[in-house]
Amino acid sequence: MSRYLLRRLSHSLAVLWVVATLTFVLMRVTPGGPFDREQRLPPQVLANIAAKYHLDEPLISQYLRYMTGLIQGDLGPSYKYLDRTVRDIIISTLPVSALLGILALAFAVIVSFPAGLLAAYYHNSWTDRWCLFLATLGISLPNFILGGLLIWIFSLQLGWFQAGRWGTLSSIVLPTITLGSSAAAYLTYLLRSTLIETLGADFIRTARAKGLKEIVVIFKHAMRNSISPLLTVLGPLLAALVTGSFVVEYVFAIPGMGRFFITAVTDRDYPMIMGVTLVYSTLLVSANLIVDLLYSVIDPRVKRH
Amino acid sequence: MVGLTEFDRNLRPAPMVAKSWEIHDNGRKIIFRLRDDVLWSDGKSVRAQDFEYSWKRLLNPSTASEYAYILYDILNAEPYNQGKITDSDLVGVRALDDWTLEVRLKHTAPYFLAITTFEVTYPQRRDIVEKNGARWTDPSTIVTNGPFLLESWSHEDEIRLKANPGFFLGKPAIDRIEMVIVNENTTALAMYEQGQLDFIDNRSIPIFEKHRLIRQPGFRIVPQLRGYYYGFVTDRKPFDDVRVRKAFAMAIDRRIFPKILHGGEQPINSWIPPGMIGHNPEIGLPFNPSEARRLLTEAGYPNGKGFPEITLGYNTDETHKMVAEAIQSMWKQNLDVLVRLDNQEWKVYLNKLNNDPPHLFRLGWGADYPDPDNFMKLFTSTSGNNNTRWKNERYDELVERAARELDEQERVRLYNEAQRILCETDLPIISLFVTAETTVLNPRFTGLEFNSMARLMLRQVRLTEPTGANPS
């Protein structure tokens, strides 16, 4: 087990190194730089700025400098937010995104499990069709439309919830639903289709023939066998939700990390681009690792090698 | 925060921390006399040394300030910022005593007083900056001297200000101000309409909502000193021919912009915006489609025949797109010329302007200080921001002379001549309109507005008197 873990960990580190290197190269070949302005800065001012951030050094030494810093946990200064480090910014924004992401995932799970189950159990009935309809809606409605719609209905028309910002109970509901809806829809689809397959399997017929109660058949036998595909997507889904969504954070004015996936790039804030990319890929790699480890707990058929 | 001076309603520098100033040596030496009752939030006096320190810190190459150039008119400021001289004592700013600041300029600069209204010239405390390093702007360490104090600052989220009881002009009428960062304009508007916010500006008002909000009592339009123009790349066909440039300019009916943008845009044929000395509405080529067609024919393209395919570039944005499409259709209609539109993300666009510009490009220009020098210098042949590749020695000379001229009438005369070259005879650009700030303020309050430099003045905010109030 520990050898397996060690091997997986070293793989993960290699993946992260590749991601870091590719990101570093890609952002530097993208046209436009962090200090390009409508009102162009005088060359001597640009030279001072370049010297401050070591942008006047050859690219390879900038890369080595960044990597050395990274190993020591130093993500560098932000070029956009003066006097703030990328680490500071991530520390203050990631928890907000993480809380929203976890709430959204919880919402998705709470909604999708009963929905997927009902749809599969009453396959081809009206219940099934309704669930499918709602799931299709959830997947195809873009977040900015759904968010705007929810604000219009629940904030402006009904006045139930705050339109924007974060921190109060009233502010949490709408962004959670917006962020969680497509995940909920996706999970419903997935659960429904695997459950339909499982419910038609021989061992379910056997279980029923043994005279087991229907509830035991569903939850002990069918669910348990349908959950591993769900687990596979839950890992990456968690990583994506926890690091924040640009759209949801923009629409609801939430001070999370998600916005930086876009703004860091439009600002060409190089260290910030590296920072958020690395946080996201670290979470993604770890989530996948944990999911792989969990397989063996849930499904004894999965053997570690 | 407050600095040496502050704009009055006519955008003239008025006394603030400086109670008066004297100009010597043909404008090359300014002595500022400071008030002795201005206090930092920790109770210490704001002294001339705090200005000297702040200005030298701005110019210090290791600060690497983007705005260092704003003080380049000061003697030795530029070589010090370039690292050519390292002794900061040689820079022409010096506290003669606690209440007297001497500034020596390298040349006459009639606009220099206006520069002292600019935030980066505000005083700083050496002890605070040196003790706290990069954290000196943190609410727990920063000291300030303005009508409001920084209570808390949650980055990317909100800034809370509280009234400064020790402000030398008296405590402001409002106790607390919360400034919230909301990036999405429809959300900000929803928050305003829900009562979560009392004031929103341009960035929070979607274009398609402006015509509705314009009828609200707290709606205001404040014209800005900000020009919006299209530039020609003048060393390439077909715009190397001034007749073609003129034809394109005269085929645009600028009255359409406020109608499609709803933001109080003011059409303009000349370049120096209204509200600035030197503005002259007489200058420029007005809309004249028949003359435009005649010029295009004269240039060898009768009814647009044989005209090469050209591209108009702009950065991706809803407003720019609407403007570009309106103009595209006017060129089609009035000149029978088809112009291809090409939009790009902002930084890619800026990069392209430098390396491979389209035939025609969109840009804007906002003033750092309300003086025509700031606007006219943009198109001199040495300007790093002149993307038109147009050069005119007479224009350069006029702009340079006007910048060194103390007599206002003579300056206006020089700028008139320069503007005629820019907007009538040579026409490297088409000046289109001057932008405006639109704001909505809850009618419970008065006095909160932008000036035409897009600066928000918080000091005069107060609750509306109960009579005629309309609480919502």
Predicted confidence (pLDDT) per residue in B359-402, tens digit: 999 999 987 888 899 899 999 998 888 999 999 999 999 999 99
Query: Which residues on neighbouring strands pair with residue B438, listed in sequence order?
Result: B221
Q: Do A36 and B182 touch (CB under 8 A)?
A: no
The candidate with the shortest Cα–Cα distance to B429, out of B269, B256, B223, is: B269
The candidate with the shortest Cα–Cα distance to A164, out of A141, A179, A148, is: A148
| Sign of the Cα pseudo-torsion (B202, B206, B208, B214, in order) | negative
Q: Do B194 and A52 touch (CB under 8 A)?
A: no
The candidate with the shortest Cα–Cα distance to A249, out of A182, A183, A166, A177, is: A166
Say if A210 is an interface residue toward chain B (CB within 8 Å): no
CB B160, CB B177: distance < 8 Å: yes
How many residues are listed for chain A in this entry?
Answer: 305
For residue A40, which residues of chain B lie inside 8 Å, CB to CB? 384-385
Which pLDDT belongs to residue A38? 79
CA distance A188 to A192: 6
Residue B86 neighbours by CB under 8 Å, 6+ apart: B80
Question: In which region does residue B30 sit, left (phi positive, over 0), alpha (psi from -120 to 50) or beta (all else)?
Answer: beta
Q: Do B190 and A151 touch (CB under 8 A)?
A: yes
Question: H-helix or E-strand containing B434?
Answer: strand B429-441
Which pLDDT belongs to residue B453? 83
Q: Taking residues A203-212, what's their average pLDDT?
A: 82
Peptide bond into A58 cis (omega under 30): no
Which pLDDT belongs to residue B468? 47
Establish, for the pair of chains A and B, how many residue pairs have beta carbons separated by less than 8 Å. 132
Residue in chain B nearest A157 by alpha carbon: B194
Query: B447: pLDDT confidence band, cut at 50, 70 and 90?
Result: confident
Residue in chain A nearest B136 by alpha carbon: A83
Which DSSP symbol is given to A295?
Answer: H
In what order do the strands lie in the sheet containing B176-180? B148-154, B158-163, B176-180
Say if A83 is an interface residue toward chain B (CB within 8 Å): yes
Which pLDDT belongs to residue B471? 43
Question: H-helix or E-strand containing B21?
Answer: strand B18-24
DSSP one-letter string for B207-238: HHHHHHHTTSTTEEEEEEEEEEEEEE-TTSTT
| Sign of the Cα pseudo-torsion (B111, B117, B118, B121, in order) | positive
Q: Do A252 and B187 touch (CB under 8 A)?
A: yes
Which pLDDT belongs to residue B415? 97
Distance (Å) of CA A60 to CA A18, A57, A271, B178:
15, 8, 15, 45
Query: Which residues on neighbouring strands pair with residue A223, listed in sequence order?
Result: none
The 8 Å CB, 24+ separation contacts for B146-155 are: B146/B1, B146/B2, B146/B459, B147/B2, B147/B171, B147/B172, B147/B458, B147/B459, B148/B172, B148/B177, B148/B458, B149/B41, B151/B176, B154/A92, B154/A255, B155/A81, B155/A84, B155/A89, B155/A92, B155/A255
Q: Taking residues A167-180, what's their average pLDDT?
A: 89
Which residues of A, range 12-41, sit inside 8 Å of B by Cβ? 30-33, 35-41
Whether residue B74 has pLDDT greater than 90: yes
Predicted confidence (pLDDT) per residue in B170-185, tens digit: 999 999 999 998 888 8
Say if A51 is an interface residue toward chain B (CB within 8 Å): yes
Indicate which of B347, B363, B472 best probes the interface with A, i.e. most A CBs within 10 Å of its own CB. B347
Say if A89 is an interface residue toward chain B (CB within 8 Å): yes
CB B205, CB B213: distance < 8 Å: yes
Whether residue B472 has pLDDT greater than 50: no
Tracing tokens 């050859």 back to the chain, one arrives at A58
CB A278, CB A86: distance < 8 Å: no
How near does any CA of chain B get to the CA of A109, in Å? 28
Which DSSP symbol is given to A255?
Answer: -
Which pLDDT belongs to residue B90? 95
Say if B61 is an interface residue toward chain A (CB within 8 Å): yes
How near does any CA of chain B get to the CA of A36, in Å? 7
Amino acid at A78: S
For residue A155, which residues of chain B lie inside 8 Å, CB to CB? 190, 194
Query: Which residues on neighbouring strands pair with residue B32, listed in sequence order?
Result: B21, B101
Q: Do B155 and A33 touch (CB under 8 A)?
A: no
Say if A163 is an interface residue toward chain B (CB within 8 Å): yes
CB A75, CB A69: distance < 8 Å: yes
Q: Do A48 and B156 touch (CB under 8 A)?
A: no
CB B90, CB B15: distance < 8 Å: no
Predicted confidence (pLDDT) per residue in B95-120, tens digit: 999 999 999 999 999 899 999 999 99
Q: Do A42 and B69 touch (CB under 8 A)?
A: yes
Predicted confidence (pLDDT) per residue in A49-105, tens digit: 999 999 999 999 999 999 999 999 899 999 998 888 999 999 999 999 999 999 999
pTM of the model: 0.86
Among the partner-chain residues B69, B72, B348, the one whose CB lies closest to the CB of A32 is: B348
Strand ranges for B86-212 from DSSP E: 93-97, 100-104, 148-154, 158-163, 176-180, 199-200
Q: Which residues of B171-188 are buried (b: 16+ CB within 10 A; e: fewer)?
A: ebebeebeebebbbbbbb
